[in-house]
Amino acid sequence: MRAALIETPGSPAVSGERPEPTRGDGEVLVAVSAAPIVPLDRLCASGTSYFGVPSTPYVPGVQGVGLVLDGTTDLPTGTPVWFATSAGMQPGDGSMRAVAAVPVHDVVALPPGADPVLVAALGLSAVAAWMALTLRGGLAAGERVLVLGAGGVVGQAAVQLARSAGAGRIVAAARGERSGDRALALGADVAVSLSGTEDVAELADRLRVGGPVDLVVDPLFGAPAAAALRVLRPHGRLVNLGGSAAETSPIDSSTLRSRSLRLLGYTNNDLTPEQRAGALTHVVDEVLAGRLTAAHEPVPLVDVTGVWNHAGDRIVLIP
Ligand SMILES: NC(=O)c1ccc[n+]([C@@H]2O[C@H](COP(=O)([O-])OP(=O)(O)OC[C@H]3O[C@@H](n4cnc5c(N)ncnc54)[C@H](OP(=O)(O)O)[C@@H]3O)[C@@H](O)[C@H]2O)c1
């Protein structure tokens, strides 16, 4: 069976072969139709994540979309599903293969009509954006939201999900002009450039356009997060969910304490399967309503090595 394989931590995945999985207790077999490459897949495969160095070889892929192959009462054969795996975080194989054996509690049935490639592209990135806004960030209707890293899938989803949840002004901050233009098209009120400087004061001046914000969604950390804290209103919240810009951030104490700000962390790994399924279902409902999308590119799984480190639109592997 065709599969992507991590053979050496730190090297890109290669296309190879893996035995067909057999269905274990409490599992279903899924014929995989789409599996995205996300930052977590690369981080785990690098061997530098806080989950440790993975045992190799293994099939990467922390999520995928497909059709149930051998049905149960709750998940009949042919049901379209999204599923999560722990590949790279715990021993075992992930989604980047033709057939995956998945515990039932990691499977979410999809309504008919959802584009499997788009759902795969959004997946856990959109779940994180939604839960960072709501569960962790406590977004209330009318609040002003600043989305950092608005060019990434988390950022694209956060802009659209904040808009449909009734946010007031939405500021989208990204490095590239193209990302800013896209954020405006997706519903942001203002686009701010993060490019050309790591100076916190200068970035804060740019982000301050239009006044203070109530909530920051931060997949970047580094200088952009430190700058974003400076534009929060008193008691405002910043939810950090990633370190795409840097693992550390030059945050000053006076900024945090002078306005009693709340600096919050978020990980999808803390969700219960029910919370994750609820968030994923909301994401798919928004897709079906035409209110949520993300830039993505389908690529045959056999070409995985060439796209493993691709920076740009989300790559979705097609087995
Ligand atoms: N905590 C969780 O549960 C969770 C869940 C999903 C994702 N995440 C994390 O969230 C982050 C974003 O995920 P994603 O799915 O949106 O990834 P993505 O689609 O690959 O986007 C990454 C974004 O980071 C930006 N970026 C990279 N380096 C940067 C820098 N030095 N300065 C400013 N921007 C920079 C890129 O900007 P350009 O577009 O301008 O190049 C891009 O927009 C990742 O760190 C990921 O691990 C966390």
Whose Cα sits closest to atom 45 in ligand 1?
242
**pTM of the predicted structure, to 2 decimals:** 0.97
Whose Cα sits closest to atom 7 in ligand 1?
125
Helix, strand, coil content of the chain in percent (nearest 5) = 30, 25, 40
**pLDDT tens per residue across span 52-102:** 999 999 999 999 999 999 888 889 999 999 999 999 999 999 999 999 999
Pocket test for ligand 1, best of 131, 154, 307 (most atoms within 8 A of CB): 154
Whose Cα sits closest to atom 12 in ligand 1?
219
Query: How far, in Å, is the centroid of ligand 1 from the Cα of 295?
Result: 14
Query: How far, in Å, is the centroid of ligand 1 from the Cα of 149?
Result: 6
Whole-number Cα distances in Å, 228 to 21, 50, 125, 249, 268: 47, 26, 21, 11, 23
Minimum-distance ligand 1 atom for the alpha carbon of 244? 45
Identify the pLDDT of residue 72.
Answer: 86
Identify the pLDDT of residue 70.
Answer: 86
Query: How far, in Å, is the centroid of ligand 1 from the Cα of 220?
Result: 6
Residue tagged 């954020």 (tokens):
183
Name residue 64's amino acid: G
For the chain, residues with pLDDT lower than 50 are: none
Query: How far, in Å, is the centroid of ligand 1 from the Cα of 180?
Result: 15
The answer to whether the CB of 112 falls within 8 A of the CB of 15 is no
Identify the pLDDT of residue 42.
Answer: 97
Identify the pLDDT of residue 51.
Answer: 93
| Residue 196 DSSP SS3 | coil
